[in-house]
Amino acid sequence: MTKKLKVGIIGAGGISTVHFNGYTKSRLAEVYALADVNAETLAKRGQEYNVPAARCFADYRKLLAMKEIDAVSVCSPNALHCRQTLDAFAAGKHVLCEKPMAMTPAEAQRMVDAAENAGKKFQIGLHQRFRNEAVYLKRLVDDGVLGKVYYARCQAVRRRGVPSWGVFGQLDKQGGGGLIDIGVHFIDLTWWLMGRPRPVSVTGQTYRTIGNRPGHMGKFGKWDHKTYTVEDFACGLVRFENGATMSIECGFNANLNEDRQGCHLVGDKGGAGLSPLSVQVEMAGHLTDCTPNFVDVMGQPHPLGKLTEHEKEVLAFCRSVLDDKPVAVPGAEAIWTQKIIDGLYRSAEAGKEVRIK
C-alpha cells in the first residue's frame, strides 16, 4: 500500500479549502494539522477538516515542529509566504505554496535556494496549467501546429472584481492588486504555453481610479476603499530573448464590457486561444477556425471522478513527493513570472522600460 502523506495547512482561509479537497480526493494524503492566527477561523476549519483541536495551532512553527508532518501547504497572505516557506524547509518539510510565491523576486530566490539546499519538493499553486484546455494548447505548441509563437496576449480583467474579504486591497500585505493576484495565473499560463522563453524587459503602466473611492458597487460585495492601496488596472508588454512579445492586461476594476480571463497565442503557422478555446489555421487555401471537441474529458479519469484544476494540482504535488519526481510547477520556473510582475510594477513607477535580470 502506498504511504499516505501527513500534511499541514498553514493559513486556514478560503483557499485552504481547495487544498483540503485536493488532499482528500487524492487518497494519497491526509490533512493532519492546521495553523492560523485567527482563532475563530482555525476552530471552524478544524471542525470542517476533522482535525483535532490539539493539532490546530495559532503559531505555525508548532505545526512545523511536528515530526509526523511530511509536507505543508502555505495558504497565508502573500507577505507571509517567504518566511513560512523558509521555516518549512528548515524543518525538513516539502512545500506547496500558493500563488504568488512571494512579494518580490529576491524573496522568491531565497525560497528556491532554500528548497534546493534542503533537498525538498517546492511547488507553486498555479493551477491554470492543469486545465484540460491548457494541456491541449501546450500539445499544439509542442507539436508545431502553430509554428513559431512570436506574440501572445494575456488577460485577467474584472469590471468590478475586488475581493471583499481578506487583505486583497492592501499593498503591504499583498504586494499589488489584480496583477499579482489574478494576473499571475494567466501570465504564468501564457508564458508556459509559449515555451517558457526568457524575459529580458518589461514596459508597463498601472492605474488606481476606482478602488480607493467610495460609492462603487462590487461583484463580491463592498470593499474598504479607505484601505485600498493597490492598483485597479495594469497593462504592459514583455520582450523575450527569442524575439517574442507578450501583452498583459490585468485588474480588479476596469470599465470594460466584460470580464476576461484567458490568453491567445499567435504563431507563424496558426493561432490558438483559451477562454474560449479556439484554433485558427489556414487549410485548403482558406482561413479556418476550429473548435476542439471533447477536451473536457481528456486524460485518465480519477477513481473519485472528475477533479478540478486545484485538485489536480494537489494530486500532482502528492505524487511528486511520494514518487520522488520533479514537481509540476517548480519554484525555479514560477520565479520568472514573479520577475515579469515585478518588472511591470517597476516600469510603471519609473515611467520607462526596465530590464529583467
Give tens-digit pLDDT for 4-29.
999 999 999 999 999 999 999 999 99
239 and 329 together in one domain: no
Q: Which pLDDT band holds residue 298 (cuts at 50, 70, 90)?
A: low
Q: Tell me the average pLDDT of the chain.
A: 95
35 and 82 together in one domain: yes
Tell me 227's DSSP state: G
Q: How far apart are CA 302 and CA 296, in angstroms?
A: 14
200 and 141 together in one domain: yes
278 and 313 together in one domain: no
Q: How far apart are CA 236 and CA 249, in angstroms?
A: 7
Give tens-digit pLDDT for 81-100.
999 999 999 999 999 999 99
Cβ atoms 180, 204 nearer than 8 A:
no
20 and 39 together in one domain: yes
Query: Pairing between strand 260-267 and 245-251?
Result: unpaired
Give tens-digit pLDDT for 186-213.
999 999 999 999 999 999 999 999 999 9
Question: Average of pLDDT values for 222-244?
Answer: 97
Please compute, for residue 140, the number of CA atoms within 13 A of its CA located in the half-sphere on the CB side: 29
150 and 58 together in one domain: no
Give the predicted TM-score (pTM) of the model. 0.94
231 and 343 together in one domain: yes
Cis peptide before 276 (omega within 30 of 0): yes
Give tens-digit pLDDT for 97-115.
999 999 999 999 999 999 9
124 and 140 together in one domain: no
Q: What are phi and psi of 263, to 5 degrees?
A: -155, 165
186 and 80 together in one domain: no
What confidence score (pLDDT) does residue 228 get? 96
160 and 121 together in one domain: no
Give tens-digit pLDDT for 28-51.
999 999 999 999 999 999 999 999
73 and 144 together in one domain: no
What confidence score (pLDDT) does residue 121 get? 98
Q: Residue 238's domain spans which residues?
A: 129-298+337-355
Give tens-digit pLDDT for 42-79.
999 999 999 999 999 999 999 999 999 999 999 999 99
Provide, rounded to the nearest whole percent, the portion of the chain with pLDDT above 90.
93
- For residue 157, the cross-strand partners are 251, 260
- Please choose, from the candidates 244, 179, 227, 239, the residue with its C-alpha nearest in 3D space to the C-alpha of residue 205: 179
Is 58 buried (19+), middle (13-18) or exposed (0-12) by CB count in 10 A?
A: exposed
What confidence score (pLDDT) does residue 111 get? 98
Q: How many domains does the chain have?
A: 2
186 and 202 together in one domain: yes
Cβ atoms 99, 76 nearer than 8 A:
no
What confidence score (pLDDT) does residue 2 get? 64
| CATH (domain of 72) | 3.40.50.720
